[in-house]
Amino acid sequence: MTENNSPGVRLRAAVNAERPLQVVGVINAYGALLAERADFRALYLSGAGVANASFGLPDLGLTTLTEVVEEVRRIVAVTDLPLLVDADTGWGDDLMIAHTVETLSRAGAAGLHLEDQEQGKRCGHRPGKTLVSIEEMRARVAAAVRGRRDEQFVIMARTDAYSLEGLEAAVARAQGYVEAGADMIFAEALSSLEEYRHFTQAVKVPVLANMTEFGRTPLLTVQELGEAGVRLVLYPLSAFRAMSAAALQVYQTLRREGTQQSLIEQMQTREELYEILGYYDYERQRDARPSKEKKS
């Protein structure tokens, strides 16, 4: 049964309202508040983001569904923006994939993407990837559809086939995944605007382009991708990379100079933090509570 304003409904509405839809990655609830402040309409939780930021681990499928769900709950608790979640390969067989969909939906996610790599997955922009057969991935997609309790929850299928099998094979896989029930397609690691144009013309559902930095895909603009038919543009870890570089600079400066004085102009102020968090509203609510009567 579908709720009129479920997260999946909101994500689909955003895809239709903004063409292409910019989807920005957040690593935690505070990041979601910042992205909302910047007027994004949709958020993304990266598997790499959870592994890197929360556990200090590489993006090699080392985190679990339970760990990702906890981050989902924290993010959706502070924002109504729809959240697309990286579900890697689904954390198991078909039964587990259906459970993954149901669990993420109950946690408040708007949708997920599953990829066609083998269980021992790698970053999509690294060498050494291996793929499951198109039949196995179609079975994954079908299992995800079976696990859906809200028919508007988005099932996105990611294909990593381009870098291993070529463009036409990636297109054929994507078409097969759509036939199996995928609502949208994540075309990983394409290398040119012309390839995106060819892909979107051949695949008749919304296609996502991953504009991750330092990868195999050039950093194309929203306008360029929109003109090529792309419907979603993803920036999975842009803010995390910038935050990490800034944090390292702060730590090094503190260690070297023994003071943060030279960094103050680069910092968010206490007042800015309080304004984003709504700190004073919380404080007023606490101050408005009746005082406890003194014990006689």
Q: Mind listing the pLDDT tens digit for each residue in 69-81? A: 999 999 999 999 9
Q: Which residues belong to the active site?
A: 44, 59, 86, 88, 113, 115, 123, 158, 188, 210
In this predicted structure, the answer to whether residue 114 has a pLDDT above a threshold of 90 is yes
pTM of this prediction exceeds 0.85:
yes
In this predicted structure, the answer to whether residue 224 has a pLDDT above a threshold of 70 is yes
For residue 129, which amino acid is it?
A: K
Start-end of CATH 3.20.20.60 domains in the chain? 7-236
> Is residue 287 a known part of a binding site?
no
The residue-averaged pLDDT of 286-291 equals: 84
What's the confidence (pLDDT) of residue 210?
98
The residue-averaged pLDDT of 97-107 equals: 98
> Is residue 42 a known part of a binding site?
no
Nearest to 153 by CA among 104, 90, 210, 209: 104
- For 250-279, write each residue's pLDDT tens digit: 999 999 999 999 999 999 999 999 999 999
134 near 122, Cβ under 8 Å?
no
> Is residue 183 a known part of a binding site?
no
Cα gap 173→167, rounded to integer Å: 10
In this predicted structure, the answer to whether residue 245 has a pLDDT above a threshold of 80 is yes
> Is residue 140 a known part of a binding site?
no
What's the confidence (pLDDT) of residue 227?
98
> Is residue 200 a known part of a binding site?
no
- Those residues whose C-beta lies under 8 Å from the C-beta of residue 20, and which sit 6 or more positions away, are 209, 222, 225, 226, 230, 231, 232, 233
What's the confidence (pLDDT) of residue 296?
45
Q: How confident is the model at residue 156 (pLDDT cuts 50, 70, 90)?
A: very high
> Is residue 46 a known part of a binding site?
yes
What's the confidence (pLDDT) of residue 166?
96
Cα gap 2→153, rounded to integer Å: 9
DSSP per residue, 11-57 = HHHHHHHSSSEEEEE-SSHHHHHHHHHTT-SEEEE-HHHIIIIIH--
**Whole-number mean pLDDT of the chain?**
95
The residue-averaged pLDDT of 280-288 equals: 93
In this predicted structure, the answer to whether residue 293 has a pLDDT above a threshold of 60 is no
In this predicted structure, the answer to whether residue 124 has a pLDDT above a threshold of 70 is no
**Which single residue is written with the structure tokens 């991708």?**
225
> Is residue 126 a known part of a binding site?
no
Structure-block tokens of residue 69? 């769900």
Question: Which residues are 111's β-sheet partners?
Answer: 84, 154
87 near 68, Cβ under 8 Å?
yes
The residue-averaged pLDDT of 156-176 equals: 97
> Is residue 88 a known part of a binding site?
yes
3-state secondary structure (DSSP) of residue 196: helix
Read off the DSSP letter of residue 221. -
Structure-block tokens of residue 126? 């690294």
Longest alpha-carbon distance in the chain: 82
Q: How confident is the model at residue 119 (pLDDT cuts 50, 70, 90)?
A: confident
- Those residues whose C-beta lies under 8 Å from the C-beta of residue 285, and which sit 6 or more positions away, are none
Q: Where are the alpha helices (DSSP H) in 45-93?
A: 47-49, 55, 65-76
Preceding amide of 206 cis, omega within 30: no
- CATH 3.20.20.60 assigned to domain 7-236? The reply is yes
